[in-house]
Every structure is written in C-alpha cells, then in structure tokens.
Structure 1
Amino acid sequence: MDEREWLSGQFEAHRARLRAVAFRMLGSAAEADDAVQDAWLRVDRAGADGVDNLGAWLTTIVARVCLNQLRSRTMRREDPLDVHVPDPIVSPAAGVDPEHEALLADSVGLALLVVLDTLTPAERLAFVLHDMFAVPFEDIAPMLERTPAAARQLSSRARRRVQGRPTAPDPDVARQRAVVDAFFAASRSGDFAALVELLDPDVILRSDGGPSRAKFTFTLHGPEQVATQALASSRLSPFVYPALVNGAAGVVVATAPDRPLFVMAFTVTAGRIVAVDVLADPDRLRTLVTLPLDGTVGA
C-alpha cells in the first residue's frame, strides 16, 4: 500500500466525524460534504509527513475550510434577512436516513442551527470545536490567530447565547409527535385556547421565506401571536406530511401532494412547543424536499 492509498483510507475512517464537524459549523449537509471534499483535496496535496495526531490534524483542516466559508458567507450578506433558517434535513416520520444519523446526533436540531447562525464565525468555531467535539483551546487558538484565553472567551460567549435560547427537544420523538399532532388538530378546528395551551409562554416562531417570499420572513413571540399565525396558516395547508426535521418531529406543509409550501420544525420541551422554525423559501424547498413522504394528514 502506497502513502496516498494509506492516507485515503485514514481519511475515510475519519469522514463521519469530519462531516459532523462541518455540519455543525455550516448548518447544511450539502455544504458540509463540499467542505469535507475540499479538505481531502488539501490533505492529498500536503501529505501527512510529520503528523502525530492524524484525527486532530484532519479536524483542524476541515475547521479551517468551514471558517473560511463562514467568513465569506458573512461578507456576502450585505443586507441580511431578519431571519435565516438553515437547510433542514427532512426525513420520513418513520426514521432518519442512516447517512444523516451521525450528522444529527446530540440533538442537533434546526433550532440549535438557527442560534449557531447568529454567532460570529470565530465564536461558532470555538464553540463547536470545544463544546461539541472537546477540542482543546490550545488547538483552537491558532486557527483563529488568537490566544487560548481569547478562544476560551469566544466559546464562553457563544455558550451563553446558545443556552439562552430553546434549542434541545425532548428525547422522546413519539411524545414530540403527539404534541405536534395536537397543534395541527387545534389549528384545523380553530381552537385558539387549545393552541395556546400547547405553547410555552416564551415560544418563538421564526419563518424564512427567502428573497422571493419576503412576506414569509418574520419572527413571532408568545403564545397568542403564534396561535393566531397558526390559525391563519391552516387555510393555506390542505396537505400536511408528518416528517422528521433534523431528527425531531416536524411537518412538510403543501398546497398539492407534490408542491411543498414550507417545512416546519418544532422544538418540544416538557410537553410544550418552545420553538417553531419555518423554511418557506421556494428555491431551497425544491432542492431539499421530495414529496410525498410516508403519510399525510389532511387539513
């Protein structure tokens, strides 16, 4: 076995972890795959001579690629939308595709990715690498051209922002689904009081309509606002497909069996909905959602 063949085999052995790092950094499965491929091209060119810890070295390369992408993304957003919902991973309600299981481990729901998107690139790298993958600050600091103490501060600041938002759903998906089903049953019947009862007092709804659906881009706070929007939206949704959205209970709402209108991801904690994240961007929906899924609830 020559050196390149050996290195390729080692890279494949680490690919799942590298994809998981990239996904948490970028919030998109497609961009994560691109970042991992870019990292392999760099590794292939450089070789691994003198590398003592191959796994740590590969993680560093992927993290640097992702950091560059985040910085480029920030520069391109001259007039950022009020809300940006990352690309969801939509699976049938029966279960997540095995290809995506590693990406969605540790409750990496859409709500968490929305909050990570509000961090600066440096904060996100420090938080993801240290808090999610236990990379020491001494290894993170050179990537950011900061001291370890400064990297620690970035991670701490990011952690406070993440912990201040509802991001982690209940672990029992069946219980999540029961709450989401009750939400749509109340919406269809026009039961405002029942809707409010299902919503946490601090519930937040974030909707991203993309450039072509600006009216679908907004943020709502509190049970009354969210319940009012749910009742209004129920008229637009003759088809509701149960789905897993980033591994948590969600739905795809459609105007026809093969025409998705939006994806809704729910964060259910202690039996109540604490966050709803909605992607209504038609351009992204066309590439991310294939209908029908494995079941439909008519409105």
Structure 2
Amino acid sequence: MRSLILLAFIVLLAAGPSNCFAQSEKDAVIFHITSAHTSFPDTGRAKGHIYNKVLYAASGHYNDSTVLIIAPKDLDAQRSVDIIFLFHGWFNNVDTAAEHYQLTRQFLASHLNAVLVLAETAKNAPDSYGGKLEYPGMFKSLVADVMEGLRSKHLVGKSTVPGHILLAGHSGAYRVMARIIQNGQMSIDEAILFDSLYAETEKYVAWIKADKAHRFIDIYTDHGGTDGETKDMMRQLDTAKLTYISTEESLLTPKMLQQNRLAYIHSLHEHDKIIANPDNFLLFLLNEPFLKKSR
C-alpha cells in the first residue's frame, strides 16, 4: 500500500489545489453543494486517523461535506434522473479526482442522460473508512440532497425521482461502496471498481447473487494489491456457477461489455492510470445497459 500512497500523493500534487479543475465545460452544469449525509464529519474520525505513525487530523481531512455534481445542460429528467456516484481513493478529494481523471470530459463524451456525483470521503488522507455513508439510510438521504441540489438549478422537476443508480470507485473506495450496497436502502444497479477490490468481496458476491440484473465490472492491475482478491472472487463465482468474463484489457471489446453482466479485466497499466489513460470510465459508460443517451 505504501507505493499506492506515494502515487496518490503525486496525483494530488499534479492536480493542484482544490477547485482548480475546469468548471467551464460548455455542455455541463457543474456545481457544489454541502450535505449532512456525506461521510464526514463522523464520530469514527473525531480524533483523526493515524496511518504509518502520521496523524491525519479531523480538521482538514474529516470535516468536509462537499458534494460535486456534474450534469449535462440538455438533461431531460422530468420523471426520473439516473445518477452515477464515483468515490475517489486515498490522498484525493472530489475536485482533484475530477480533474486528474478527466471525469467531466469522459462523462460528457458518453452523452448519457444522467448526472455524475462525487461525494467527499476522507479528504487527502490514506483512509478507506466511509464514515456516515456506512450507516443504514445515510446514502438514501445523500441521494435526496443531490435531488434537491438538482432542483435548485432547475435541472429536474419537483416530482422527479431517482432512477437507476450506479456506483463507481477507485482504489480505497471499495469499502464505502460495499457498505452502501450491503445496507440496501437504495437499489444499486451497477458497481464498477477501478483497481479497488482490496476486501469486502463477500458483500459484492452476495449482491451479485441477489439479482441477475446486477452488473459488476472489476478492472485490476498486477501491482495495486487487488489481483489476489479478484481471483478469489472469480473462484467464488465459479463455485456458485455464475457466468462472467475474464479478459486482458488489450482484448476487451464493447461487445464483451454489452453481452456480459460480470466482467473482470486485467490491466497492464498503472494503478493510477486505469480510469483515464486509457479512457476506461468512458468505455464502461458507453456500454452499460441501464442509462439512456441524451443525444
């Protein structure tokens, strides 16, 4: 994990200060809200968190309740709105993640009639703990706050309800995503892990077994620490006689993603490259079955 911390720290330095990312995308409405239903502040980190003998204080790391919302200007969501939540990993925050992984560009290039949301977790810290979002009912309340934010910008109507919900995450995001799925307060249709399957595997397997429509994509690397857990998960699916594809990233095709609900993709790229170099976030969005294109 030390190598991942160093990589993440380099990412943060390269991205620059919070709020520096391009918010002038001509085809998007990009704004921030705050929500009492994000990860922090939370009693579990009231005294901060120690990692490798370094204290990451609550102030500055566990007191930010920012939610970044990115919506296409031509969003058509009077009845329902589909939402993609992406959770960042260690030593990152919602703004630096959006910039470094080019999430706005990739999301808008998909032309999906949906909204992309990044809710703050541990900010610029080496921590996978999901704070309040691990509590039952909290994610449902966060979704409600996102809906109110969209209404405040007149992007959805008063009676618009949440539609399909997708979760995606990089690196340490595996834990908060697994706990949201386990709590079951909202129907989660799809989970995408970007070199993030470090643990909580049993929760993902149970969710996959619970509904044949649930979709799961796991892209993993040799050096991120996720290869062993990924192979163990595939063995569990073999035991359960569930069908999935296991392929090299270089051999992956859109058709493979379209025809398989469970996909395990081995990448030769670095841990920090697999979201936007190449544009895998865009590739997965273009070939998923739940969300409709706006144009």
Indicate the TM-score class for this superposition, using the shorter chain for normalisation: under 0.3
Q: Which has the higher helix share?
A: 1
Find the structure with the greater CA-based Rg: 1
For normalisation by structure 1, the TM-score amounts to 0.28
TM-score, length-scaled by structure 2 = 0.28
